[in-house]
């Protein structure tokens, strides 16, 4: 086996360790995705047609999430059926100063077929430069460039970046035009309902200004920036933006599961949907949303499949060179709802290596099998 670990049992022969260290993400998917009920092969986002046509036919997207949507996370989402995945927001100033660490955020990792890159900043000239550089480095793998006009974090807004741009429609329009001057791909914007909950909703008018500046699509998160990520997302905002612009709208906010993904699209008239926190421990959300859209029932992953997805996630982190600290939150998500979840989560907190996580998945899988066998025996005894 290429990864040197057994996808069926979660065992990790010592002989496979060195091999595993260098094992590519493609080999990890090949080996573990089927056991997790995920696809080992990732379908590229269609290259032909308008963005509106491509989104309408492939509407469920993995949202940009800083500190979460790294290459491993995106690969898992794509293996789970996401039509396209976004990078986390990437600083145009960081790219300008040439940081390789910043570049790592913007580049796809094999076997990602393509990528949506989200940029943030406040200086049109830096956006122009970043768009040209991203276009050159990613080439055919770049599907679109999205401009972040939604981030509510004070560290960002203080510099006039992220959701602060909602107060500066003219500057925001110049940023869109600066990207368009260099990009061969569509340029889109991600916005929020408004900056503060105290003020009026600005999203529909602001979206119209961005579309007039040349944005090919508008992603709308129906919370205000002052809400951060709390409270309810207003799907009415998404609906009003969809009614205000001729370009496709991508809905975001409170898309907790597959049925919400289908509902937000239907109720708002959005063309496509971004799934954000609804993907935590649930890469199957995308294929299930597609099933629901086609009138088919959802397929709920088994506990064994969830454990294989956890193993796959951890191995993908290793294969893509990510910090293993990310595996902790992933473990928490996948273990949610398992028998004795809190005990297993405590154990996950003590995991230090990839093999620790694989051993945990293997031990829990064995416990579940034992409990299943005991239940079957009890059933037979009673019958």
Ligand X SMILES: Cc1cc2nc3c(=O)[nH]c(=O)nc-3n(C[C@H](O)[C@H](O)[C@H](O)COP(=O)(O)O)c2cc1C
Binding residues (CB under 6 A) for ligand X: these are 63-68, 88-89, 118, 148, 150-151, 190, 221, 229, 233, 252-255, 274, 276-278
- What phi and psi, each to the nearest 5 degrees, are found at residue 219? -95, 135
3-state secondary structure of 85: strand
Query: Cα torsion at 211, 214, 216, 220 (round to 10°)?
Result: -40
State the minimum distance, in angstroms, from the CB of residue 339 to ligand X: 28
Look at phi and psi of residue 56 and say left if phi exceeds 0, alpha if psi is from -120 to 50, else beta: alpha
What tokens does 98 get? 């040439």
* Helix, strand, coil % in the chain, rounded to nearest 5: 50, 10, 35
State the minimum distance, in angstroms, from the CB of residue 278 to ligand X: 5
The yes-or-no answer on residue 151 being catalytic is: yes
Between 225 and 233, whose beta carbon lies closer to ligand X?
Answer: 233
3-state secondary structure of 118: strand
State the minimum distance, in angstroms, from the CB of residue 28 to ligand X: 24
Q: How far, in Å, CA of 122 to CA of 89, rounded? A: 13
Exposed/middle/buried for residue 49 (C-beta within 10 Å: 0-12, 13-18, 19+): exposed
State the minimum distance, in angstroms, from the CB of residue 227 to ligand X: 10
Which residue of the set 23, 151, 179, 189 is catalytic?
A: 151
User: 272: which strand partners?
Assistant: 250
State the minimum distance, in angstroms, from the CB of residue 305 to ligand X: 23
Per-residue exposure over 230-256, b if at least 16 CB sit within 10 Å of its own CB, e if not = eeebbbebbbbbbebbebbbbbbbbbe
Between 320 and 362, whose beta carbon lies closer to ligand X?
Answer: 320
Between 33 and 275, whose beta carbon lies closer to ligand X?
Answer: 275
Between 91 and 320, whose beta carbon lies closer to ligand X?
Answer: 91
Active site residues: 151
């Amino acid at each position: 086996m290429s990864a040197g670990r057994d996808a069926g049992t979660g065992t990790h022969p010592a002989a496979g360790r060195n091999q595993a260290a260098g094992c590519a993400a493609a080999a990890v998917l090949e080996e573990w995705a089927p056991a997790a009920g995920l696809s080992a092969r990732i379908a590229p986002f269609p290259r032909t047609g308008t963005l509106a046509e491509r989104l309408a036919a492939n509407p469920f997207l993995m949202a940009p999430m800083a500190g979460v949507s790294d290459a491993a996370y995106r690969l898992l989402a794509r293996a789970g059926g996401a039509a396209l995945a976004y990078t986390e927001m990437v600083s145009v100033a960081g790219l300008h100063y040439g940081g390789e660490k910043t570049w790592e955020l913007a580049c796809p990792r094999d076997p990602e077929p393509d990528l949506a890159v989200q940029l943030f900043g406040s200086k049109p000239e830096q956006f122009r430069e970043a768009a040209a550089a991203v276009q050159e480095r990613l080439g055919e793998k770049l599907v679109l460039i999205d401009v972040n006009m939604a981030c509510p974090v004070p560290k960002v807004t203080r510099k006039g970046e992220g959701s602060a741009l909602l107060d500066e429609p003219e500057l925001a329009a110049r940023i869109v035009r600066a990207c368009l001057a260099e990009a061969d791909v569509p340029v889109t914007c991600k916005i929020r309902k408004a900056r503060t909950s105290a003020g009026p909703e600005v999203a529909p008018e602001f979206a119209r200004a961005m579309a007039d500046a040349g944005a090919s699509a508008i992603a709308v998160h129906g919370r205000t920036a002052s809400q951060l990520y709390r409270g309810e997302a207003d799907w009415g905002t998404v609906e009003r933006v969809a009614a205000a612009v001729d370009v496709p709208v991508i809905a975001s906010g409170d898309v907790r599961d597959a049925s919400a993904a289908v509902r937000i699209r239907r109720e708002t008239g959005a063309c496509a949907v971004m799934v954000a926190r609804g993907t935590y421990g649930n890469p199957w959300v995308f294929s299930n949303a597609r099933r629901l859209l086609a009138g088919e029932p959802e397929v709920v992953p088994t506990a064994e499949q969830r454990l294989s997805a956890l193993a796959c996630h951890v191995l993908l982190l290793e294969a893509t060179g990510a910090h293993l600290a990310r595996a902790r939150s992933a473990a928490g998500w996948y273990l949610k709802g398992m028998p004795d979840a809190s005990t297993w989560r405590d154990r996950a907190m003590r995991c230090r290596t990839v093999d620790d996580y694989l051993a945990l998945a293997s031990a829990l899988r064995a416990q579940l099998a034992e409990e299943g066998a005991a239940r079957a025996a009890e059933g037979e005894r009673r019958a």
